[in-house]
Amino acid sequence: MTTKKNEPRSESVKRVLNELSGKDLVVLTTHKNADGDGCGSQVALASWLRSQGTETFIVNPTPFPQNFKFLLPDESWIAEADSPSARQLCDGADLAVVLDAGENSRIGKIEPLIRGVPTVVIDHHPMGENPIKGLSLRDTTASSTGELIYDLIEGAGGPWSKNSDLGVYVAVVSDTGSFRFGNTTPHSLRIAAELVQRGVNPGRIYRRLFGSYHKTRLQLLQSSLTTLGLDEAHKIAWMVVAERSYEALGATPEDLEGFVDYPRFIAGIEVGILFRKVSRNSVKVSLRSNGLVNVNTVARKFGGGGHNQASGALIKGSIERVQQSVIEAVREAVEFSGILK
């Protein structure tokens, strides 16, 4: 059973709620390097499922980020992917829920663990070429997966817990860039208003998410900004993560959160790119567009994916070569968009 094309969100919500009901054990997962949307959605849904008497655990392909652990009432909700308990939980699960991802390639080592387990996808990314099969609540008009979790818990008539409130709020704030990005809608703002009404403290969460950076992050940004590159004629700017500083500072991928936005802060720039050498022969590329250029098509060209305004890919090759071919592909996408005319 899959979601019917163009089914209204409320219908998909009902079908997914039906599938979630009465389960003994459910595992939740999200994409590699979970972000605020993935983590927030997981905690919110886990909290609600647990209130329904369903044992629920979070099993992610990469460790649950330290800076989102404040969302959890209890770290025992998490099972690390490589642990025996993760395997045991997945083996015994009645249902797996994939959040904020819709393709097997995004969930890495969790895919073999949940193979054979009935799976539900809740996601707001455009459908990729190899979508995970099963029932789904997919809606690209949703600002975030957290917004879909809000609709799900509302659709069930609650109950709302402190952790569900917090989780959904952090999810929506993360994916809308604190309500600054183009995906901010009346619905996402109403959700936030409702959660603030119920006691979520926006100032405190802002400081937790954005106002308490480790010094490593700014030192790494300092050295990375020296690599800033520009093609003003094509409205493109890019930055390369300073590899030596990354190593020397003992930085983690979490320290890079938001780096991709800096090149795009330049007036007149439409597309920002971040390059990071992740191993001897592979480069992680993140692409962000102000909205006029579709960067998902660029990411797809290199085997990656994402949204039209935010996407990425892991590309084999030297940093110089990858940089050259990606910038060239972005130039083509900019030309194709018609904004240079």
Interacting residues toward Mn ion by CB under 5 A: 37, 100, 145, 175
Q: How many C-beta neighbours within 10 Å does residue 170 have?
A: 28
Least gap, CB of 37 to Mn ion (angstroms): 3
Shorter beta-carbon distance to Mn ion: residue 59 or 171 = 171
Question: Min. distance of Cβ 318 from Mn ion in angstroms?
Answer: 31
Give the residue carrying structure tokens 């039209």: 308
Nearer to Mn ion, 145 or 163 (CB): 145
DSSP letter assigned to residue 105: G
For the bound state, the minimum distance from the C-beta of residue 312 to Mn ion, rounded and expressed in Å, comes to 13
37 or 103, CB closer to Mn ion?
37
| DSSP per position, 194-212 | HHHHTT--HHHHHHHHHS-
The nearer residue to Mn ion, 64 or 246, going by C-beta atoms, is 64
Question: Please, which residues bridge with residue 271 across strands?
Answer: 236, 289
Nearer Cβ to Mn ion, position 3 or 143? 143
Compute the least distance from the CB of residue 44 to Mn ion, in Å.
13
Question: What is the C-alpha to C-alpha distance for residues 258 and 124, in angstroms, rounded to an integer?
Answer: 20
CB of 306 to Mn ion, least distance (A): 9
Q: Are 114 and 93 in contact (CB under 8 A)?
A: yes
User: Is residue 317 a contact partner of residue 278, using CB atoms and an 8 Å limit?
Assistant: no
Compute the least distance from the CB of residue 90 to Mn ion, in Å: 23
Smallest distance from the beta carbon of 71 to Mn ion, in angstroms? 15
The DSSP call for residue 146 is H
Dihedral sign from CA coordinates of 233, 236, 265, 229 = negative
Q: Which one, of 38, 195, 192, 23, lies nearest residue 117 by Cα?
A: 23
**303 neighbors 323 (Cβ within 8 angstroms):** no
Between 100 and 139, name the residue whose CB sits nearer to Mn ion. 100
Q: What is the 3-state secondary structure (H, E, C) of 33-96?
A: CCCHHHHHHHHHHHHHHHHCCCEEEECCCCCCCHHHHHHCCCHHHECCCCCHHHHHHHHHCCEE
Beta carbon of residue 127, minimum distance to Mn ion (angstroms, whole number): 14
In this complex, which beta carbon is closest to Mn ion, that of residue 40 or of residue 263?
40
Q: Which is nearer to Mn ion, 34 or 242 (CB)?
A: 34
Residue in the structure block whose two tokens are 């069930």 = 156
CB 269 within 8 A of CB 241: no
Residue nearest to Mn ion (CB): 37
